[in-house]
Chains A and B, each alone.
Chain A
Amino acid sequence: MSSGEQGGPPGGEPGPGLDALFGLAPEQGDSWVELARAATQPAPPLGRLGEYELLEELGRGGQGTVYRARQPLTGRTVALKCLPARVFASQSSRERFRREVDALARLAHPGIVAIHGAEVIENHPVLVMEWVDGRPIDTWARGRGAREIVEVLCAICDGLSHAHRRGVLHRDLKPSNLLVDRAGRPRLLDFGLSKLRVDEEGAQVDVSRTAAFLGTPSFAPPEQVEGRWDDVDTRSDVYSLGAVMHLLLGGAPAFEAGAGLPELFDRIRAGLPDRPTPVLARAGRELDWIVRTALAPEPDRRYAGVEELGADLRRWLRGDWVAAHPPSWAYRLRKSFARHRVLYVTSALLLAGILGVAITVSVLALRLDRQGEQLEQSLAGERKALRAQRAGSAFLGSLLAGTGSLRRAGPDLSLAQLLDQGVLELDHGRLADTPAVEAEMRMQLGRAYRGLERFEAALVQHRSAVELASRSEGADSVLTARALDYLMRTLELAGRLAEAEAAGRRSLEILEQRLGPDAVDATAVRNDLASVLDEQGRFAEALQLYRRGLESAERQGNYSATALSGIHRSLGLELLELGRLDEALFHTRRALELMPPGDAATERMARTRRNLGRVLAARGECEQGIALLRESLSQWTSLYGPGHCLVAVETVRLGEQLAAQGGHSEALELLRGAVATLERALGNAHPWTIRARCATGVALKAAGEAPAALEALRAAHQGALDAAAGNEALVAATARALAGVLEEAGSQDEALAVLVQAGARLAGRVEHSEELRRGTLGVLDGLREKLAPGALR
């Protein structure tokens, strides 16, 4: 029974009487608007507090009331925090209060609201603080994208880290304590005040009364909710920040305070459900993992500190792999090795070429050890991951230390020998206990072989990695997908395009399913796959995949500038191939704009310049185009050295362009050099060698050297016919060029035979590609008609 049903004084039961009181009765028109307006007016003028003129009440909560105030002596505006009276039972507690405040006042960081000092005015302890014209972060975050919010969260981590390093915990992080000023800079408020509160009130007897001043529990970690103050440490602040992130990124609190409090506490203790909440799923899986790691109920499973949390958020911003992950140790392992990859390859190269064994090993071992320690700290309890990482580290360490026969090779040891030794050790079961680590090692070995143009050796390692990953993590695991991605890239370089495509499609399928279709990693594989399609001449399909990547990037908002630039560059390339030159120019320019300054000397830059050169040349801006191609070529040369197959491929592009512009002698010189390099590096049967021969043949024809042209094109066409499946575009291109030369030379029958043979070869593959069907077969049909009308019917 409730009193509301008893009638009683005016206002009464919810209903007409209540409506009248609130101006909501039908006959009262819009008078409710007036009442609502009056309700939202600020409180009446505030008067003074000690020497301070109170200007405005900013907020009121468990810790007292905050005012914006003016100090008449100095004229400065400050924020006054007026703590509840009677907090001080004794003179000693008052002194302790001052000491604590002094400690807080020593925090000096642009992300922390400064405390100028403390006074006791009219028996109220009053904190005098810097005045910040800002909004609580939850208000600020409304309608903003994840990226912008995460940037601000990183800055908050920096401020918190400053305080933690000075031994001050916040202990009461919540949106109202995180202001964002007009310039978008976050400021942390009320540092350590809850400690003052707890210390002071710890002596009080009336628990319920004490607790009347405690804030909302929605942002408090279990150890705080349960009052285990001894367990409160930096990770408690990590948790609270995680709860704030949940609210900001997901739009709802992690744990709703609306439920009964015992229920709420139970939920806080139990932590988030294992599956992504619909709320966080919206923010993307990696952010979901980060928030989950921060919000782990057990402090040991959280980030070890705000620095680690901040570092992971920054990784997300860069589009790198994040350390947070649902509890799969192998994933963390992969992240760790992903970070080592550059180090490993660089070290190995240094080792082989310049410095010898000792230095590299010590540097590498040091880095790995440090990494191991960090990992141990931040992922305590994940012993398995650590052991696995150590296994990998030990393997690399001993390999690079040059055990056994390698030691005798001394400083003349080649990278290839080193890699062979690594394979040998793996084959002898060196990492048999940790198949995921072995898979990781083999991926890297394969990649290194690929860099040395030893594709067969690389493929053995990649296939073995796929097999190991499937066995240890599952055929649908992310590790398997990564191994397949590596395999695809090597198969592509080896010219085995159909196999490459199959591996890439499988990898993409896994990643889309496991990480979501818009995940950065899925986009990366999709781009690699598109490149394979491009090699096959399936430009429209490749274009579609790149467009898909661009859409993902727009949806996710966390792709790095480099990644975005890469997508635009590739889009531009496909559009160029499709003859859509204006669009190609737009995307290629965009790629160049997006490229971070640090990328100036990278392969990415070389690619982008080369593409722009090709687009400009195709648009008739030949001089500028050729100049860019030259620049790009010299960059490739400085990256890989003059004898490298990639440099030769770029040389072919420049040669083709020069030949088309009439620069025959230079073109021929470049092309002949490139053919020689490719024959040596990749063999006669490699599609790039064939393409280079074909380009040489075309250039020879343009230079009027028909017999030599014929010879080069015959060789190229035969090579194309012998090449692996997936190279049909090359068959079409060489057939067209050869038939043209034969026709001019009067050998119409042979020209026809070439085209018939090519047509038969292509017929089985045309379903894959609209371009092949329309373009290639169209041309072939045309030629056929011209040469011998009705001959095939």
Chain B
Amino acid sequence: MSHPVEGTRASLLDRLREGPDPQDWARFDALYRDLLVRFCRSRGLQQADAEDAVQTVFGRLVGVLQRFQYDPARGRFRDYLYRCARSVVFESTRRPKPDAIDVDGVEEPVADDPDLERSFEQEWVSHHYRRAIHALTSNLEPRSIEVFEALLAGGEIRAVAERFQLSEAAVYKIQQRVRERLRERIHEQVREEDRVEW
């Protein structure tokens, strides 16, 4: 079965797996570090510890990605990220130094925790929203973005309409347009993320 690849360009994760270009890692880092740090922080790690934990996860990925064979049972990339993060969080709450974690510790069995999974899922959703919102600037009018930012900052439609001297219907229309753009973008991001063949 073929998947919807844009042109002939391989996905980022494919490239990382098949022979990583240094800059691919930079892009990967930029994409996922924030998500993982936020997740670790939400589990009570201090900032510096969270940073180190994420560094550990990345360290594992460097080795693991290149060795891995395709295995559908492993599920999507975010599930794999989640499993990594979960084990690191679990271990770092037990051990004083995350550095000491065994690099292959990802295989270590860790108890399922629905709360932890939900928390990761929330961070993952937020992560994709942030990326998609960030990408809005390239395909929306600056004014529409300003209106949306005002809505995000908690502004009611009426207040925002007044501030920008627009009708409420116009503000609502902008909101719907942003919704559509975000939806398209999020779908695209998730497709891209899952394109890697584990």
Residues of A within 8 A of B (CB): 1-6, 8-9, 11, 14, 18-19, 21-22, 24, 30, 32-33, 35-40, 43-44, 46-47, 49, 54, 57, 60-62, 64-65, 67, 82, 84-86, 122, 124, 142-143, 206-217, 257, 259-262, 264
Contact = CB atoms under 8 A, between A and B. Distances in A.
- Most-contacted residue by chain B among A4, A22, A206, A262 (CB, 10 A): A4
Interface of B: 1-3, 9-10, 15, 20-30, 33-34, 37-38, 41-42, 46-48, 51-52, 55, 58-59, 62, 70, 72, 74-79, 99, 121-122, 125-130, 133, 142, 151-152, 154, 175, 179, 182-183, 186-187, 190-191, 194-198
A21 B121 contact: yes
A703 B7 CA distance: 90
B55 A84 contact: yes
Given A1-B1, A3-B72, A212-B28, 14 more contacts: A2-B194, A9-B75, A9-B79, A21-B125, A32-B179, A84-B51, A209-B25, A212-B25, A212-B58, A216-B23, A216-B26, A216-B30, A217-B26, A257-B27
B197 A82 contact: no
B135 to A, nearest CB: 11
Nearest to A44: B41
A39 B130 contact: yes
A213 B182 contact: no
A6 B186 CA distance: 19
A49 B121 contact: no
A728 B13 CA distance: 79
A6 B196 CA distance: 13
Contact of A39 (B25, B51, B129): B129
24 contacts: A1-B2, A1-B72, A1-B197, A2-B196, A3-B74, A4-B76, A5-B3, A8-B76, A9-B76, A14-B190, A14-B191, A21-B125, A24-B183, A36-B129, A36-B152, A39-B133, A57-B47, A82-B51, A207-B22, A211-B22, A212-B58, A216-B23, A217-B26, A261-B15
Nearest to A227: B22
Nearest to B20: A208
When A and B form their complex, which 8 residue pairs have the shortest distance between CB atoms, in order from nearest?
A211-B22, A4-B194, A39-B129, A212-B25, A39-B126, A14-B187, A2-B3, A261-B21
A60 B34 contact: yes
B139 to A, nearest CB: 12
B150 to A, nearest CB: 12
Contacts of A262: 21
B48 A124 contact: yes
B125 A39 contact: yes
A494 to B, nearest CB: 55
Contact of A208 (B25, B48, B152): B25
Given A22-B125, A43-B38, A211 B47 contact: no
A213 B20 contact: no
A86 B59 CA distance: 13
A114 B153 CA distance: 33
Nearest to B66: A208
A262 B2 CA distance: 24
Nearest to A2: B3
Contacts of B142: 142-143
Contact of A18 (B23, B27, B152, B186): B186
B3 A86 contact: no
Contacts of B182: 24, 32, 36
A124 B55 CA distance: 13
